[in-house]
Structure 1
């Protein structure tokens, strides 16, 4: 057990509607449960937070995925999800890392949220790990360090690509294109072919491209925390 490692803060969106389409969205279940499975196996404690707290909206609710199914039947997980913490009420110093799960909802409530920016900066500048997968790197779009520079500037990152967004036909639905915007902030975006696993580690910044990358991001975070402990 990694008893000496502070908890990982897992953050999900509270945004329920995909733009003007009226379609429901939220966080992608697999992008939360797969990293959680890794963290649990490593013995690292976790807490789940969302922008508004309470039960966050779920997108891609797929119980044919065995990890999703296992967690959905887990009373402890269901309770933690139903009572997700309000991100703005948390003390970042309590955590060893922050992990931002994806899902299209993040595109509407991560980038401009002051709590997202505060938690990201405080954990990173305290020597912790900042991580995200798929649309989760929306949290990094406006994240800055104390000197005013963008956290992603000059750093290698992965995220849901513009090509993947086009394939799912949401290019004109999302408020901005994630990969393009990260590049505009100075990120060194590292794309892989659509839907292939792609995990990029640049120091204490760990990012993944898509749902297939969620497990790998979790492993990279757990490995880095274990190496530091």
Structure 2
């Protein structure tokens, strides 16, 4: 059985504010739903381990989100995430970073997770991320000293979407700008539209609407 490693944030607020945050549930649950449908296993991990903060758990009309959140085995995983220090990345076929603002404050600069992801990618592994998830790509440095994204086209949550969402003044940094400075190319479409880019074994999605498609791209790559 193929298996995906899912690192999530331990940071429970939006930047340095007291606004409840963490991982945005639909960006995790919609990909998990695609993995489940294709009999692909997954483990949820975090830097510190333990219960991972989620928000967006009560979105009306999102039946997939409700279904996955209501699954007992999923709840066991999200409430007992494995510390990254206990993870053997060689056991996994792909890494997926869901979004949410929380990871801008930890995974976006964590060298331990970045080193693990670099090793995984250089061994032929797949990396996928959606919305703010691509922030976790920023510190990934390959063995040749180059950033993973230095020669890649990527997408992620846009400046316009931050403005629309009312978070532009509270985020630790603007992800679009950070990726534009470090990636070969940052691309985007109109706010809130589905948009996914695959560049070699790297898949990125722009926003929550892109989560399901990121899951589909991931499954397709895993089948190759």
Determine if the alignment matches structure 1 residue 53 to structure 2 residue 61. Answer: no
Determine if the alignment matches structure 1 residue 129 to structure 2 residue 110. Answer: no
Alignment of 1:1-229 (within 5 A): 3=1, 5=2, 7-64=3-60, 65-227=62-224
- Residue ranges of structure 1 left out of the alignment (5+ in a row): none
- Residue ranges of structure 2 left out of the alignment (5+ in a row): none
* Runs of 4+ that moved beyond 3 A: none
TM-score w.r.t. the length of structure 2 is 0.96
The range that moved more, 63-72 or 127-136, is 63-72
**Deviation string, structure 1 residues 30-54 (Cα, Å, up to 9, x no partner):** 0111011111111111111122211
The two structures, once aligned, show a CA RMSD in angstroms of 1.2
The range that moved more, 162-171 or 151-160, is 162-171
TM-score w.r.t. the length of structure 1 is 0.94
Count of matched residue pairs: 223
Rounded Cα–Cα distance in structure 1 between residues aligned with 2:69 and 2:16: 30
